């Protein structure tokens, strides 16, 4: 087990500085343009692929960092550059992790390379879980997958929403219900290969923030995929469903739902790190502005009203980062989240990003409200962190249930 330390090692610092350089030199100069265009920044993704950032190898190296700090460090630096472009770069990782976590070696070797493509022909992937009536309430999912034993195919019908890269992806990973009475335990994940008939893009959302990241509905109309596209395989699924049936009889449905929430718990610190990156970026702009902007013959940072705001902003950012690092270290070392530390980190970091970016706009005054300065975009981008990967209200619910042991509703 890796010792906990507040200091990055030499290799981590080298990676951090490399990522920071890419964010500063490539992502930031392109941020305003792609936010206005509201389109996937393919040229930036291609540049990330050429230098090795947009690749499974890089993501895996950070994911398996024994300190647990690889992923949060990478997320913070990329999202410091720009949240929308960064999400376009890391969004494929959601689908890749889904395959890594649940797929066979053959599935991993077959599909993950097709998710990324190569530097000369980059591809993206989409992870499709949320639905119009099933976001936080995963047990309400309606997309169904029915096994056609005669053809050894799964037939999938339903509509997914809020899918990053949905419809433009080369490979879609779709979560569907295979046994409704088991709630979230009756779900399974499927690969939908490129150009599969029946899969189409629905509405593309015009968003308040992270506008360089493509978000859309994915419609599945009698989509047929081979049996080999069931992640983990049919035998493993049948065994898991049998165990779930027995546990459901013994302990009731509420525990089935709680198990689903526990699955999400481990991924939430990464979202917290994204929020930290955006908050840090806005704070740095505000600090620089306060040092150089003069009113009444002196820099505005000389005023306690501004200086104290900046002090609070930095304190909150550092506290958020520490909560993210603690949860990430616990996760990689198999420490149980007995106080919902993953949700704590995501909750505090996301709320901090919204607050800090709003304070940055205020410090810049009228300039902060215009698109001539990046804090306006950062403030819009920050709103998503309290919504995706579980709203702030869901995080508080998870924390309260974990602390109390009660099924709070």
- Residue length of the chain: 409
Neighbours of 179 (CB within 10 A): 16
CA–CA gap between residue 267 and residue 345 (Å, rounded): 11
What are the residues whose beta carbons fall under 8 Å from the beta carbon of 409, sequence distance 6 or more?
Answer: none
CA–CA gap between residue 148 and residue 188 (Å, rounded): 15
CA–CA gap between residue 65 and residue 242 (Å, rounded): 35
Supply the residues annotated as catalytic: 389
CA–CA gap between residue 90 and residue 126 (Å, rounded): 11
Which 3 state secondary structure label does DSSP give 105? helix
Q: 350 vs 290, 378, 408, CA distance in Å?
A: 24, 13, 23
Classify the phi-psi angles of 183: left when phi > 0, otherwise alpha if psi is within -120 to 50, otherwise beta: left
By the 8 A CB rule, do 45 and 88 touch? yes
CA–CA gap between residue 74 and residue 51 (Å, rounded): 14
């Amino acid at each position: 087990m890796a010792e906990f330390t507040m200091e990055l090692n030499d290799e981590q610092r080298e990676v951090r500085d490399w990522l920071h350089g890419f964010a500063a030199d490539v992502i930031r100069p392109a941020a305003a343009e792609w936010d206005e265009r509201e389109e996937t920044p393919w040229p930036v993704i291609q540049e990330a692929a050429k230098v090795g950032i947009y690749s499974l190898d890089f993501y895996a190296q950070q994911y398996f960092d024994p300190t647990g700090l690889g992923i949060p460090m990478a997320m913070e630096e990329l999202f410091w550059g720009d949240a929308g472009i960064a999400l376009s770069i890391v969004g494929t990782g959601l689908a890749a992790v889904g395959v890594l976590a649940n797929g066979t070696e053959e599935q991993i070797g077959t599909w993950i390379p097709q998710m990324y493509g190569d530097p000369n022909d980059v591809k993206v992937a989409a992870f499709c879980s949320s639905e119009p009536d099933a976001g936080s309430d995963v047990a309400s999912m309606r997309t169904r997958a029915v096994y056609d034993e005669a053809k050894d195919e799964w037939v999938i019908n339903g509509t997914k929403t809020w899918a990053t890269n949905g419809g433009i992806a080369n490979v879609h990973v779709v979560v569907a219900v295979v046994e409704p009475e088991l709630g979230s335990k009756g779900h399974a994940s499927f690969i939908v290969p490129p150009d599969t008939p029946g899969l189409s893009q629905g509405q593309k959302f015009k968003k308040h923030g992270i506008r360089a990241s493509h978000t859309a509905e994915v419609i599945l109309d009698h989509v047929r995929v081979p049996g080999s596209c069931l992640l983990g395989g049919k035998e493993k699924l049948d065994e898991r469903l049998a165990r779930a049936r027995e546990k459901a009889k013994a302990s009731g449905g509420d525990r089935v739902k709680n198990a689903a929430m526990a699955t999400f718990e481990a991924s939430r610190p990464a979202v917290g790190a994204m929020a930290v990156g955006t908050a840090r970026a806005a704070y740095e702009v505000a600090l620089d502005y306060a040092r150089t902007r003069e009113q009444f013959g002196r820099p505005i940072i000389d005023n306690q009203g501004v200086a104290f705001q900046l002090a609070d902003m930095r304190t909150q950012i550092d506290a958020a980062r520490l909560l993210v690092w603690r949860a990430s270290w616990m996760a990689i070392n198999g420490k149980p989240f007995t106080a919902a530390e993953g949700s704590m980190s995501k909750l505090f970091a996301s709320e901090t990003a919204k607050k800090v970016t709003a304070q940055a706009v205020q410090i810049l005054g009228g300039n902060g409200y215009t698109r001539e300065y990046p804090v306006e975009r950062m403030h819009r981008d920050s709103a998503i962190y309290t919504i995706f990967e579980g709203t702030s209200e869901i995080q508080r619910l998870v924390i309260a249930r974990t602390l109390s042991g009660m099924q709070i509703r």
